[in-house]
């Protein structure tokens, strides 16, 4: 087993990982930084994000408005101190990315253009046509290439964190191309491995979103926070699950049912107007829009197609010029994957699993409860997204918390002692485990694809848009059974060279852990809030549940604990969309934070 030594190790090379790597290099150029990712960084799922990234920039907008939109969007489960610093640091981070070359779309005078987005009172979403994530990722990746201290370990799959005496000292990774197992020792580790949408059968997520980072930290003893909150994006293409960005609605698209009726008006989301109205109708928050679909389904007003029920997204009224300028990728995707032209036809859409609000519990600096282990991005939960994330907040989150975690890790690494050599014993154990449990194994009777499908179907049935205690309980039992059966999984490929079967089985192991934490967290939360809706507990319960759930791994089922939400200036109030908000949203306690005007 080879050993590599660095000061800071990033696990994951997406938006958060790359931003954090740059932050470490800029905080302290003496530190050597390693970025280990199971794919080449340009393949990270950040690349698929389309709509935009939010930051206050227009005159007339304010940090408090952005904060309030985020907090109410999250159904008050957001930690308000985290949200306040997020909205405050967002504009600078976004400008920094612009200075690094990100091709933001512009107004005719050359300044940054913004577009409206779901749940936001004012236009504050910066965008690069409708391929914002793609441009952000490529800008970040290309910028990392100019920092000599950053070394990359592409297609190295991390299978275990090295934790000794409660401190994190690095990780063990399989170099996929050669099958060699390496130990990467580091004084600080930043987990940026993304979310785990692949626990569900129908998701916008890429094949690689298998919750590896969450599972690794969870098994190492870090708690996973708010795992029950899984976001269904209201508009995904049927069959493929490909995302049709919220920007299509922001530019004026309408959601209609089989009768051509804009059904959102029946779900307390406002009254239909010809032009998009912020925080109303199609620009409401994603959880409410997805839940409205279920309402339509029950009323029999959706359209049945061979790939399930759908409603329609109507962007015909935008006209070809606007579509080609503002949402060209949407048009390309519809033409290719649905064989329809949105300029002339309706786009069939349905809610699709998209994002996990939950993740590894971190503080405001991205530090997890395990000293030496940090986390940022979708894998982490600070929490700024609470019970439901607003669109365009997560791309900004990558930058703000990627930078914070990077800086914090840099400071930690400068002071932390070198990893003890004794930790290498764990590396050897892991190498032996991989050989015994997978590569050298013969005669397994469970097919990987079958286990995965059963898990995904269970998640959809038990932890979908609407949940109840009985189905959740059944789901937890099913996952327990699947984990048992996993021990008998068949691995036919003994090769060391680019063994994707080994990779897939390790990913399945991670998926099962993540699925289990979602189900148990959902079962324990006896209320409905944001994206977690329970038919047996349909009301929000601020008395008992204005708190984050924490799932800890044990030898048996996960142990669920609770951590109160940090409230600063916005006491828990009613989430209102599409109608006048009463003054309950004004922050409590004196003058608001300094307003940020536009540039």
Partner 1 sequence: MAKTLNAGYTRYHPKWHRVRVPLFWWVRSASYIKFIGRELTSLFVAYAAGLLLVQAWVLGQGAAAHASFLNWLSHPAVVAWHVVLLATLLFHTVTWLNLTPQALVLRIGRWRVPKGVVWAGHYAAWLVLSLVIVWLFAGVT
Partner 2 sequence: MEEEPAFDVFEVPYEDNWMVLDALNHIKDQVDGTLSYRWACRMGVCGSCGMMVNGKPVLTCATYVEDVLPGPIRVEPLRGFPIVRDLVTDIRDFMVKLQRVKPWIIREEDKPLAEGEYLQTPEELQDYKQYSMCINCMLCYAACPIYELDPDFIGPAAIALAQRYNLDSRDEGREERMDVLSQHDGLWACTFVGDCSVVCPKNVDPAGAIQRYKLDATVDWFQSVLMPWRKR
Contact 550, 563 (CB under 8 A): yes
Q: Which of 104, 117, 134, 153 binds partner 1 (CB under 8 A)?
A: 153
CA neighbours closer than 13 Å in the CB half-sphere of residue 42: 6
**Cis geometry, peptide bond prior to residue 383 (ω within 30 degrees of 0):** yes
* Residues 149-178 close enough to bind partner 2 by CB under 8 A: 154, 177
Q: Residue 144 interacts with partner 1 (CB under 8 A)?
A: yes
Name the residue nearer to partner 1 (CB basis): 142 or 240. 142
460, burial (CB in 10 Å: exposed 0-12, middle 13-18, buried 19+): middle
Token representation of residue 356: 């996990």
Q: Which of 29, 111, 429, 535 binds partner 2 (CB under 8 A)?
A: 111
Is 543 a binder of partner 1 (CB under 8 A)?
no
Separation of CA 248 from chain center: 21
From the list 335, 285, 412, 315, the residue with the least C-alpha distance to 23 is: 412
Minimum CB–partner distance for residue 145 and partner 1 (Å): 6
Residue 110 sits in the site that holds partner 2 (CB under 8 A): yes
Q: Does 142 interact with partner 2 (rule: CB under 8 A)?
A: yes
Pairing of strands 114-115, 125-126: antiparallel
182 has which bridge partners?
2, 173
Dihedral pair phi/psi, residue 296, rounded to 5°? -65, -40
C-beta of 497 vs 543, nearer to partner 1: 497
- 491-550 residues near partner 2, rule: CB under 8 A: 491-493, 495, 497-501, 504
Pick one of 150, 191, 215, 489: the residue that binds partner 1 (CB under 8 A): 150
Stretch that binds partner 1, among 111-119, 144-152, 237-245, 266-274 (CB under 8 A): 144-152
Query: Counting every residue, how long is the chain?
Result: 599
374 by DSSP, 3-state: which? strand
- Take residue 67 and report the two structure tokens written for it: 């904060």
Asked if residues 196 and 214 have their Cβ atoms less than 8 Å apart, the reply is yes
Q: Is residue 428 within 8 Å of residue 117, measured between CB atoms?
A: no
Give me the DSSP letters along 17-41.
Answer: HHHHHHHHHHH-TTS-EEEEESS-G
- Hey, how many other C-beta atoms are within 10 angstroms of the C-beta on 237? 23
Query: For partner 1, which stretch binds (CB under 8 A), given 148-156, 213-221, 524-532, 562-570?
Result: 148-156
Taking CB under 8 A as the binding criterion, the range among 43-51, 59-67, 142-150, 238-246 that sits at the site for partner 1 is: 142-150
The span of 79-87, 141-149, 430-438, 581-589 binding partner 1 (CB under 8 A) equals: 141-149
**Minimum CB distance to partner 1, residue 560 (Å):** 40
Residues 188-207 that bind partner 2 (CB under 8 A): 206-207
| β-pairing verdict for 114-115 and 8-11 | unpaired
Record the tokens describing residue 186, joined without a space: 């580091």
> Among partner 2, partner 1, none, what binds residue 5 when CB lies within 5 to 8 Å by partner kind?
none
User: Should residue 47 be labelled a site residue for partner 2 when binding is judged by CB under 8 A?
Assistant: yes
Decide: is 145 part of the binding site for partner 1 (CB under 8 A): yes
List 1, 2, 59, 146, residue binding partner 2 (CB under 8 A): 146
Cα Rg of the chain, angstroms: 23
Residue 142 binding partner 1, by CB under 8 A: no
Instruction: Report the alpha-carbon angle 39-45-48, nearest 5.
Output: 135
Catalytic-residue membership of 99: no
Q: How far is the CB of 179 from partner 1 (least distance, A)?
A: 11
Buried b / exposed e over 268-293, threshold 16 CB at 10 Å, is ebbebeeebbbbbbbbbbbbbbbbbb
- 96 is a contact residue toward partner 2 (CB under 8 A): yes
**Contact residue for partner 1 among 497, 564, 580, 590 (CB under 8 A):** 497
What is residue 466's three-state secondary structure? strand
Q: Which two tokens stand for residue 12?
A: 């994951």
For residue 556, the number of C-alpha atoms closer than 13 Å in the C-beta half-sphere is 3
Q: Which is nearer to partner 2, 257 or 503 (CB)?
A: 503
- Marked catalytic residue, from 45, 233, 467, 534: 233
Q: Which stretch binds partner 2 (CB under 8 A): 67-75, 109-117, 261-269, 531-539?
A: 109-117
Residue of 149, 211, 223, 285 interacting with partner 1 (CB under 8 A):
149
Residue 109 binds which one of partner 1, partner 2, none, with CB within 5 to 8 A depending on kind? partner 2
Among 66, 121, 124, 138, binds partner 2 (CB under 8 A): 138
Q: How many residues of this chain interact with partner 2, rule: CB under 8 A? A: 60
Q: Out of partner 2, partner 1, none, which partner does residue 561 contact, by CB within 5 to 8 A per kind?
A: none
How far apart (Å, rounded) are the C-alpha atoms in residues 64 and 284? 19
Q: Of the two residues 9 and 560, which places its CB atom closer to partner 1 in the complex? A: 9
**Token reading at 404:** 């914070």
* Residue 495 binds partner 1, judged by CB under 8 A: no
Contact (CB, 8 A) for 549 and 259:
no
Which SS3 state, helix, strand or coil, does residue 142 take?
A: helix
Q: In a 3-state reduction of DSSP, which class is residue 439?
A: helix
Instruction: Answer yes or no whether residue 217 interacts with partner 2 by CB under 8 A.
Output: no
Report long-range pairs for 317-322 (Cβ below 8 Å, ≥24 apart): 317/252, 317/254, 318/251, 318/252, 318/253, 319/343, 322/251, 322/252
Residue 249 designated active-site: yes
Q: Which stretch binds partner 1 (CB under 8 A): 109-117, 129-137, 139-147, 302-310?
A: 139-147
CA–CA separation, 568 and 489 (whole Å): 49
Task: Locate 310 and state its tokens.
Answer: 């759908």
Residues 156-185 interacting with partner 1 (rule: CB under 8 A)? 175
Figure out which of the listed residues 4, 55, 82, 423 binds partner 1, where binding follows CB under 8 A.
4
Tell me the catalytic residues.
Answer: 233, 249
Residues that bind partner 1 (CB under 8 A): 4, 144-154, 175, 497
Residues that bind partner 2 (CB under 8 A): 39-40, 42-45, 47-48, 92, 95-96, 98-101, 103-112, 131, 134-135, 138, 142-143, 145-146, 154, 177, 206-208, 239-240, 242-243, 332-333, 336-337, 448-449, 490-493, 495, 497-501, 504, 599
């Amino acid at each position: 087993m080879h050993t590599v030594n660095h000061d800071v190790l990033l696990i994951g090379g997406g938006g958060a990982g790359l931003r954090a790597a740059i932050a470490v290099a800029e905080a302290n150029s003496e530190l050597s930084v390693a970025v280990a990712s199971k794919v080449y960084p340009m393949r990270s799922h950040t690349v698929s994000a389309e709509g935009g990234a939010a930051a206050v920039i227009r005159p007339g907008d304010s940090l408090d408005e952005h904060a309030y939109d985020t907090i109410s969007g999250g159904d008050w489960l957001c930690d308000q101190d985290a949200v306040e610093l997020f909205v405050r640091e967002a504009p600078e981070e976004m400008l920094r990315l612009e200075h690094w070359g990100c091709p933001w779309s512009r107004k005719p005078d050359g300044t940054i253009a913004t577009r409206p987005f779901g749940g936001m009172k004012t236009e504050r979403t910066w965008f690069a046509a409708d391929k914002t994530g793609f441009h952000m990722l490529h800008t970040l990746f290309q910028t990392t290439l100019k920092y000599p201290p950053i070394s990359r370990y592409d297609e190295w799959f991390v299978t275990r964190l090295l934790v000794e005496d409660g401190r994190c000292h690095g990780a063990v990774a399989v170099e996929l191309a050669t099958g060699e197992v390496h130990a990467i020792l580091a004084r600080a580790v930043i987990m940026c491995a993304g979310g785990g949408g692949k626990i569900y059968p129908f998701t916008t997520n890429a094949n690689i979103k298998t919750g590896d980072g969450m599972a690794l930290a969870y098994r190492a003893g870090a708690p996973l926070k708010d795992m029950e909150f899984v976001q269904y994006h209201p508009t995904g293409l049927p069959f493929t699950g490909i995302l049709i960005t919220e920007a299509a609605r922001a530019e004026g698209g309408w959601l209609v049912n089989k009768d051509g009726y804009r059904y959102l008006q029946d779900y307390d989301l406002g009254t239909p107007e010809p032009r998009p109205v912020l925080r109303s109708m199609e620009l409401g928050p994603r959880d409410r829009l997805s839940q409205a679909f279920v309402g339509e389904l029950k009323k029999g007003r959706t359209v049945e197609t061979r790939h399930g029920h759908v409603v329609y997204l109507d962007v015909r009224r935008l006209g070809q010029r606007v579509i080609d300028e503002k949402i060209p990728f949407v048009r390309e995707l519809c033409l290719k994957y649905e064989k329809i032209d949105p300029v002339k036809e309706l786009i069939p859409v349905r809610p699709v699993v998209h994002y996990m609000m939950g993740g590894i519990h971190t503080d405001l600096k991205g530090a997890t409860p395990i000293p030496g282990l940090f986390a940022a991005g979708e894998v982490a939960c600070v929490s700024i997204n609470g019970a439901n994330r607003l669109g365009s907040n997560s791309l900004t989150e990558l930058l703000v918390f990627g930078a914070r975690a990077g800086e914090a890790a840099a400071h930690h690494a400068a002071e932390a002692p070198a990893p003890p050599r004794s930790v290498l014993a764990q590396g050897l154990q892991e190498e032996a485990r991989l050989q015994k449990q997978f590569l050298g194994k013969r005669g397994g009777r469970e097919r990987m694809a079958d286990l995965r499908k059963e898990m995904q179907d269970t998640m959809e049935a038990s932890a979908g848009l609407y949940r109840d205690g009985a189905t959740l309980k059944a789901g937890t039992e099913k996952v327990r059974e699947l984990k048992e059966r996993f021990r008998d999984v068949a691995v036919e490929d003994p090769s060391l060279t680019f063994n994707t079967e080994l990779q897939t089985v390790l990913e399945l192991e991670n998926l099962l852990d993540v699925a289990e934490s979602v189900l148990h967290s959902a079962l324990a939360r006896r209320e409905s809030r944001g994206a977690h809706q329970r038919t047996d507990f349909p009301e929000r319960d601020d008395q008992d549940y204005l708190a984050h759930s924490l799932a800890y791994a044990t030898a048996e089922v996960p142990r669920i604990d609770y951590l109160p939400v940090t409230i600063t200036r916005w006491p828990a109030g009613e989430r209102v969309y599409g109608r006048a908000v009463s003054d309950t949203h004004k922050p409590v306690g004196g003058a608001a934070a300094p307003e940020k005007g536009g540039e």
